[in-house]
Structure 1
Amino acid sequence: MTLLQTNALTLAYGDTPIIENLDLQIPEGQVTVLIGSNGCGKSTLLRSLARLMRPKSGSVLLDGKEIHRSSTKEVARNMAILPQGPSAPEGLTVLQLVKQGRYPYQTWLKQWSEEDERLVNDALRMTGLTDLADRPVDSLSGGQRQRAWIAMTLAQNTDLILLDEPTTYLDLSHQIEVLDLLYELNQEQGRTIVMVLHDLNLACRYAHHIIAVKDKGVHSQGAPEDVLTPQMVKEVFCMDCIIAQDPIFGTPMCVPHGKGRLCNDRCLLKAECVSVK
């Protein structure tokens, strides 16, 4: 398995710190979901874990080696990344897109192989896209398009997959379709999945491990039933709620309080905020 962790990681845009002095280890072989309010730094943290952003200080380690000291191809052979809202060149077919996942393994001496062909076909099959292989990516529905990008990451054949808001702009049925696929990859193949999600209830349904990001670091982390509490929701999202049990999955379910209200993140426990229920 591939181990991903940070040591005293600090991330910043200009002189503005977003994440400060963070020590974090991603559980191997599990689905980990990053949650937090808009602008808290969860996507920035994921970008740093994916080697898309350099730390201001500290380090990201992939199998014990500092990720920014590794070549792009070396990292891509160990970790696949699906950024938010990816776009493909006009006219690119699903098959051509998925084949890009094999790029890290191509060299002047080692060109396209039977293994490459098998892994691409396997990725198409696992994502249900075999019959759409010759369709242009830009002609697909939102859910199909997202599955095509996931198929490309699968073709990389890595133990570790990072996804930044993979359900953004998808309707509910397509959100479930994509999350079901990712969960199956974890359960059936032992892939480590790390993703950013906004929907707390979907996060609890699919995650083994949740990391709540706030105040330039980790507010809390652990199993969904340990992390999703009224106090956490109050402090991280500045929102009152009750926590119920999902009637289908038995996982924690956040129900916003009818009289609760959003407020400025800085005013957490001021008297005008409705008390935590």
Structure 2
Amino acid sequence: MQTLSTKDLKVSYGDKIIIDDLNITIPKGEITVLIGANGCGKSTLLRSMARLLKPKSGGVILDGQDIAKMKTKQVAKKLSILPQSPISPEGLTVLELVKQGRHPHRGFIKQWSPKDDEAVQEALELTNTIDLKDQTVDSLSGGQRQRAWIAMTLAQETDIMLLDEPTTYLDMTHQIDVLDLLYNLNEKDGRTIVMVLHDLNLACRYAHHIIAIQDKQVSAQGRPEEIVTCDLVEQVFNLKCDVLFDPIYGTPMCIPHGKGRQILPPSSNINRKKV
């Protein structure tokens, strides 16, 4: 199984430093979620780990090697990325899209093989998109479209999957559908999954490991139940809240304090418990 980490990573846009001397190690075979306020550098970090952004200094280490010194196809066989709001050519079918995931495994001479067919078929089945394979991607609903893109990354057959806000623009039902799919992929195959999520409660529910980004650095990292506290949420998001336990899953659940309504006294809610 592949390993992924950063070493003294510094990333900038022009003269503006976004990530500064950051050192993290992504746990193998687990789901890691990057959280933080808008503009803190979550997506920048994810894109850097996928070699889509060139660091100002430091680097990303993939399976013991500096990712910047690896060949593109070598990286693509070990690591896949689903960017935020990907766009496919008009008229492309789901099957054609998923087949694109096999590109790193093919050369100029190598023909399409039974192994390629098997990888595509399995990706379609795992994502429940096999009945959609002949439909065009642009005709699908948001949730169906996202599952099709995930199928493409699965067909790539990498140990590590990076996803930038995979639930953006999806309604609640489709958010859960996509996150359940990713969770089941991790459970079934032990894939290492790293994703950016805005919803802190969903991050706590699905992540084995959370990395909170603030001021260009890691503010906290660890198991959700160990690090997600009222103090952390206020520090990272500038938001006062209570942190309770999800009554279904037992994971931390953030209840934000609004400014327009009176907060009920603790005695009015017997389940009110801070962690």
Q: TM-score, normalising length from structure 2?
A: 0.94
Please state how far the C-alpha of 1:71 moved relative to its aligned partner: 1.4
The secondary structure found in structure 1 opposite 2:255 is strand
Please state how far the C-alpha of 1:259 moved relative to its aligned partner: 4.2
Q: Does 1:112 align with 2:128?
A: no
Matches within 5 A, 1:189-204: 189-204=189-204
Q: Which residue does 2:232 correspond to in 1?
A: 232
The secondary structure found in structure 2 opposite 1:253 is strand
Query: Structure 2: how far apart are the matches of 1:206 and 1:55?
Result: 29
Q: Which residue does 1:243 correspond to in 2?
A: 243
Matches within 5 A, 1:1-277: 1-259=1-259
Query: Structure 2: how far apart are the matches of 1:108 and 1:225?
Result: 49
The secondary structure found in structure 2 opposite 1:96 is helix
Residue identity in the other structure for 2:122: D
* Percent of residue pairs bearing the same amino acid type: 64
Question: Given the superposition, is the C-alpha separation of residues 260 and 188 from structure 1 closer, same or farther in structure 2, using an over 3 Å criterion?
Answer: farther
Query: Structure 1: how far apart are the matches of 2:6 and 2:67?
Result: 10
Contact 1:9/1:22 (8 A) holds in 2: yes
Query: Structure 1: how far apart are the matches of 2:60 and 2:42?
Result: 15
RMSD: 1.4
> Deviations for 1:6-43, whole angstroms, at most 9, x for unmatched residues?
11000000011011111110000000000000000011
Contact 1:239/1:260 (8 A) holds in 2: no
Query: Structure 2: how far apart are the matches of 1:71 and 1:135?
Result: 34
> Deviations for 1:207-264, whole angstroms, at most 9, x for unmatched residues?
0000000010100000001121011001100000000010111100000024499xxx
Q: Give the unaligned 5+ runs of structure 2.
A: 262-273
Q: Give the unaligned 5+ runs of structure 1.
A: 262-275
Query: Structure 1: how far apart are the matches of 2:175 and 2:98?
Result: 21
Question: Given the superposition, is the C-alpha separation of residues 88 and 244 from structure 1 closer, same or farther in structure 2, using an over 3 Å criterion?
Answer: same
Residue identity in the other structure for 2:252: P
Residue identity in the other structure for 2:125: R
Please state how far the C-alpha of 1:70 moved relative to its aligned partner: 1.0
> Deviations for 1:167-207, whole angstroms, at most 9, x for unmatched residues?
00000000000000000000010000000000000000000
The secondary structure found in structure 2 opposite 1:174 is helix
Please state how far the C-alpha of 1:111 moved relative to its aligned partner: 1.6
Q: Between Structure 1 and Structure 2, how many residues are aligned?
A: 263
Query: Structure 2: how far apart are the matches of 1:196 and 1:57?
Result: 23
Query: Structure 1: how far apart are the matches of 2:260 and 2:156?
Result: 45
Query: Structure 2: how far apart are the matches of 1:175 and 1:81?
Result: 18
Residue identity in the other structure for 2:186: N
The secondary structure found in structure 1 opposite 2:54 is coil
Q: Which residue does 1:264 correspond to in 2?
A: none
Query: Structure 1: how far apart are the matches of 2:32 and 2:6?
Result: 15
**Larger displacement relative to structure 2 (147-156 or 252-261):** 252-261
Residue identity in the other structure for 2:82: L
Question: Given the superposition, is the C-alpha separation of residues 25 and 260 from structure 1 closer, same or farther in structure 2, using an over 3 Å criterion?
Answer: farther
Residue identity in the other structure for 2:72: T
Query: Structure 2: how far apart are the matches of 1:257 and 1:128?
Result: 39
Residue identity in the other structure for 2:245: Q
Contact 1:185/1:191 (8 A) holds in 2: yes
Residue identity in the other structure for 1:122: E
Query: Structure 1: how far apart are the matches of 2:129 and 2:63?
Result: 32
Stretches (4+) displaced over 6 A: none
Please state how far the C-alpha of 1:108 moved relative to its aligned partner: 2.5
Please state how far the C-alpha of 1:68 moved relative to its aligned partner: 1.2
